[in-house]
Amino acid sequence: MTIRPWPLLLLSLVLTCGRSVATDTPHLSAARTPADAGLTDIRTMAPDIAEDMKYAAPDNFTGATVPGYLAPACLLRTGAARALAQVERDLRPQGYRLRLWDCYRPARAVAAFVRWAGDVSDTRTRASHYPALRKDQLLGEYIAPVSGHSKGATVDLTLMRCEGVHCTPLDMGTDFDFFDPLAHTDDPRVTPLQHENRQRLLKAMAARGFVNYPQEWWHFTLSGAADGDTIYDVPVQ
């Protein structure tokens, strides 16, 4: 397994972006398997939770399957997996369910995002993911060299309304990984219904200890469930 040289990557990002970013080097764990990293498959706790794991297939902002994703699985630290399964149980009696897009993210996948953002000749996904920006504007503000997902306690997801086994995703105002202020959780331009849907998701997640990242309505982290500055690079499998 190739370990990304983090200090050089961070320096490269600063020079490329022309803007300041945090340069604290994270601790890259020596774990080689999900078990070594204390990662649990969410389906061991919520067997039929809906998954659409975007980076394990080409349907994502890079237009390709992302390195490190060997299977379309949601892995999380055990505490985060337990809390997320409880959110799903809370929602079902109300007629709602979760749909998961990403959970634990290997460090090599984050490095692949940075490489993709640096290739300004590849704009295949601009219309659907960053229509108002040039690709070189994504580094730093939207794509960083270190992700909290690599700690194993962060999840990207949405909410569905269900009637029996038939579920429909709620209208949240943007798609997943839409790089634009419109994706900010409290952006005032969304409709009242879209705002209500975002708040419904936020409140359901907050009830079990998840904190929203305000620049992305879909992004939640369970506070205290990860190991400080430790990140992991074991593949999702």
Q: Is there a catalytic annotation at residue 216?
A: yes
pLDDT for 39-80, tens place per residue?
A: 999 999 999 999 999 999 999 999 999 999 999 999 999 999
Cα dihedral across residues 20, 131, 74, 94: positive or negative:
positive
Which run of H or E residues covers position 14?
helix 6-17
Mean pLDDT over 10-28 rounds to 46
Q: What is the mean pLDDT of residues 143-156?
A: 96
* Residue range 82-105: mean pLDDT, rounded: 98
pLDDT score, position 24: 60
Q: What is the pLDDT of residue 226?
A: 81
Q: Which of 88, 141, 163, 216 is catalytic?
A: 216
Write the CA distances from 161 to 90, 156, 158, 167, 186, integer angstroms: 13, 17, 10, 5, 21
Question: Is a pLDDT exceeding 80 seen at residue 162?
Answer: yes
Average pLDDT, integer, range 156-168 = 96
β partners of residue 41: 75
Domain ranges of the chain: 6-17+30-231
- Whether 145 shows a pLDDT value over 80: the answer reads yes
Collect contacts of 185-194 with beta carbons under 8 A, ≥24 apart. Answer: 185/212, 185/214, 185/215, 185/216, 185/217, 186/214
Mean predicted lDDT score pLDDT of the chain: 90
Structure tokens at 209: 């200890």
Task: Name the class of domain 6-17+30-231.
Answer: alpha beta
The answer, yes or no, to whether residue 12 has pLDDT greater than 60, is no
Torsion sign over Cα 32, 231, 110, 60: positive
For the question of whether the overall pTM of this predicted structure is more than 0.75, the answer is yes
**CA separation for the pair 163, 115 (Å, rounded):** 42
- pLDDT tens for 182-231 read 999 999 999 999 999 999 999 999 999 999 999 999 999 998 888 789 99
